[in-house]
Structure 1
Amino acid sequence: MATPIDELKEAFSGFTELIGEVTLLVNEGPSSYPALYQTIKSIHQAILPIAYSLLTLYFLLDFLGKTMNFQFIRWETVVSCCVKLIFAKFVMEHVFDLLEAIFQMSSYVTSKVGATGSDASFFVDLTAVEADYDSKGWFEKKMYYFTLMPFIWVLQCIKIVITLVVFGRLFQLLIYTAVSPIPIATIISDSLSSTGKRFLMDYAAVCLQGIIIIVGCVVYGAIMSSVTFGAFTGNGGNIAIWKGILSVLALLLVVVKSGSWAKKLTGA
């Protein structure tokens, strides 16, 4: 019969598998799922004509504004406007490939970082806890089980939250890729071009978020194997339990905050 110590060990050891799954999910983009890839590409192609219409509208509005301000008196302005239109059309036609290239670059970095930390230890030594549990009587063991249950529940909840954040990042990448022609259409307009640039920076930030998550997982392994949290963690077996809980909470903080940190690093 499984003891509460066995359940606690299983809850902690589950983070080793979780980190492996997170690494795989972070490196997966639209092309990782053939059927999903075709769906995203179909949505992208359906939105593309609308984006071309917006591109034309923004160009005409920008053209009329410059005409009314007599900016087309200089031939440099006319050439610049035509070059911008050609460039905007080229970006619009290849934005799907551009986003895929950005993701592949981030995926290459995350695979390298993940390989660096693949040998990290995620072991929590619960020997003292097990010895303390075995020394207790039948009734004390039952009461001890109730004291350990909150730790097990917290660990399970943290796993769910981490998985949701990583899945949410994947959904964000898919949605950004599908609707990308609409914000990219704004690059033709001088007054709206910041929207398209911000979209590309946002997409780069979502890709960078994956790198931060993987780095957090690697650091988590280093914390588990070497860091001591001090006397406030308790005595005896409690030290190992609290050390594991604090390390997992640190990992949760990194994963939850990874999106905002990535935006700050990219200036998005």
Structure 2
Amino acid sequence: MSDNWVVQNLQNSLENWNEKLAEVWELLTESPEDFRGGGIWEIIQDIHGALMAIGLALLVLFFVVGVIKTCGSFTEVKKPEHAVKLFVRFAIAKGVVTYGLELMMALFEIVQGIISTIMKASGLGNNNELILPDEMVEAIEDCGFFESIPLWAVTLICSLVITILSFIIILSVYARFFKLYIYTAIAPVPLSTFAGEPTQQIGKSFLKSYAAVCLEGAIILLACIIFSVFAESPPVVNQDAAPAAMVWSYVGELIFNMLVLVGAVKLADRIVREMMGL
């Protein structure tokens, strides 16, 4: 690595970005069970199990309320076809609550299969790393003291922006895991609404929202793939420009591409929800 402070600062910020983006690729293929060693998942399972009793109690309540609202009289309940329909609804709802965790993990595995397919189809195993071109490093190292003053200011601004963007993108991916944990933990309560016809829409919306959170991973991956393709063709270095202008032009274009990627990641939730009609 160069001994020049400007070069070191820029390289360190780009390395930090590369590390965060590489971590994003790893997290997109990781399941909630393995995230952070699985300690969080064990707690979520305990909470899910504790809420199971509440979910089953609400199941009966929603079922009774649904029967009262959908049946005009007790005579209708005695009809075989209506009684069978109610029994099937109750049995399915109980199965959804009891095996809700398995159902949600199966849905997550399906989405992970989609993510794996996208990775294989793209031919990319990870992101393409960003580096400073050798000609830019040489131009910066050849700068005199007075030429370096505006270069320091440009470098500080660019490095700060790149560092902030790198943390934003990794936090967005971490936030997806937190949403997966929250949905899984409280699942027995909203899933119990399937027991009643008037309340079943709540359960459907819950599953669709959970599926949307799972699919966020696919949208984030697509955004990372597009960024990696951009990284294969870095901006052209204008060797005739002053060092500060050269750095500003080159790194500025990189930052613009980073902003597009971060924006796509931040909008992943909205994009998926619009696709699913939520």
Q: TM-score, normalised by structure 1?
A: 0.89
Q: How many residues align?
A: 265
Alpha-carbon contact 2:128-2:232 (below 8 Å) kept:
yes
Q: Do structure 1's residue 257 and structure 2's residue 259 form an aligned pair?
A: no
Residue 11 (structure 1) aligns with: 13
Match of 1:27 among 26, 29, 32: 29
Alpha-carbon contact 1:110-1:210 (below 8 Å) kept:
yes
Corresponding letter in the other structure for 1:25: L
SS in 2 for 1:57: helix
Residue 106 (structure 2) aligns with: 101
Alpha-carbon contact 1:66-1:72 (below 8 Å) kept:
no
The 3 A distance-change label for structure 1 pair 145 and 170 is same
Deviation of 1:71 (Å): 4.3
Alpha-carbon contact 1:128-1:237 (below 8 Å) kept:
no
Deviation of 1:104 (Å): 1.5
Distance 2:254 2:192 in 1: 49
Residue 256 (structure 2) aligns with: 246
Distance 1:130 1:24 in 2: 31
Corresponding letter in the other structure for 1:85: F
Q: Cα deviations across residues 19-54 of structure 1 (Å, max 9, x unaligned)?
A: 221122223333114332221111011000001110
The 3 A distance-change label for structure 1 pair 25 and 78 is same
Alpha-carbon contact 1:124-1:240 (below 8 Å) kept:
no
Q: Cα deviations across residues 161-205 of structure 1 (Å, max 9, x unaligned)?
A: 111111111011011101101000001111111110111111110
Residue 96 (structure 2) aligns with: 91
Match of 2:86 among 81, 86, 100: 81
Alpha-carbon contact 1:132-1:237 (below 8 Å) kept:
no
Alpha-carbon contact 2:16-2:163 (below 8 Å) kept:
no
Distance 2:276 2:50 in 1: 30
The 3 A distance-change label for structure 1 pair 34 and 236 is closer
Distance 2:4 2:116 in 1: 37
Moved more, 63-72 or 87-96: 63-72
Q: Do structure 1's residue 38 and structure 2's residue 42 form an aligned pair?
A: yes
Residue 224 (structure 1) aligns with: 231
Alpha-carbon contact 1:120-1:218 (below 8 Å) kept:
yes
Distance 2:57 2:264 in 1: 41
Corresponding letter in the other structure for 1:94: Y
Distance 1:236 1:66 in 2: 72
Deviation of 1:108 (Å): 2.6
Within 5 A, what are the aligned runs for 1:95-174?
A: 95-114=100-119, 116-118=123-125, 121-174=128-181
Match of 2:61 among 43, 57, 60: 57
List alignment gaps of at least 5 residues for structure 2. none
Residue 187 (structure 1) aligns with: 194
Match of 1:203 among 190, 200, 210: 210
The 3 A distance-change label for structure 1 pair 46 and 241 is same
Deviation of 1:124 (Å): 4.2
Alpha-carbon contact 2:28-2:217 (below 8 Å) kept:
yes
List alignment gaps of at least 5 residues for structure 1. none
